Amino acid sequence: MNPSDIRAFFDDLNHEYLSVHRAKEELFWATYMATSDDHAGFADAEKAYKAFVSDPARLASVRERIAASAADSDLLAGLEGWRALFEANVIEGATGQADMARIVNLEAELFGKRAKYVLKHLNEKGAEEETTLGGLLTNEATNPSEAARESSQRALRGLERWVLDNGFIEIVRARNAFARGQGFESYFDYKVRKSEAMSPDELFAILEDFEKRTAPAHARGPARID
């Protein structure tokens, strides 16, 4: 295979990815910041992005060009990166793409509802005000008024309940059904093995070791406050 053709393929792949990723990110932030209510457009952009990174034909093309480009180390490194991305996202099975599309639709629906959900708490003056998730967390951590901090905590708990009552459980069911269709125990199992190239047990071994090493330092913090 001609090296210039491989380079052109690599460059085209980069430009295609930037196009679909930019479209998804721009719509995500526009809907997240409530400057747009085009949630259907965001869902379509998310589907286009998922279709790109999970395309088995692109994976096959990348593998083919890796086999033909061993002499160009920089280009080979770039192609290996694309191979890893596609291998982590390629969806197999007769219903895999449809199952993933359902997840995207459910997530977009919840995201649209969440954009209209109003969060409120007591501010530093003791007055009730609308706020953001970040505002709740900051108020809960820094407001000298216990009543104000408690109002932020109630709002956070209320948001948790609202999410559970407005579609999150259905999303979890859809994700797990999709993962089982791909041959995995659960969606968590699927994501860890696909994205991190390790088993859940291997991941938890790392986390448990981290927890053991940091637990004494965390325990000393509250003791110093007392």
Res 17: pLDDT: 97
Res 71: pLDDT: 60
CA separation, residue 163 to residues 24, 30, 118, 126 (Å): 23, 21, 13, 27
Segments in the chain below pLDDT 70: 70-72, 226
pLDDT digits (tens, 9 = 90+) for 95-135: 888 999 899 999 989 988 998 899 999 999 999 999 999 99
Report how far residue 35's alpha carbon sits from residue 31's, in angstroms, rounded to the nearest whole number.
6
Res 95: pLDDT: 86
Res 20: pLDDT: 96
Question: What residue ranges do the domains of the chain occupy?
Answer: 1-90
Res 70: pLDDT: 66
- List the structure tokens of 6: 């491989």
pTM tops 0.85 = no
Res 223: pLDDT: 77
Q: Is the dihedral of CA 10, 12, 17, 18 positive or negative?
A: positive
Res 13: pLDDT: 96
Nearest to 28 by CA among 43, 10, 6: 43
Res 94: pLDDT: 75
- List the structure tokens of 104: 């995207």
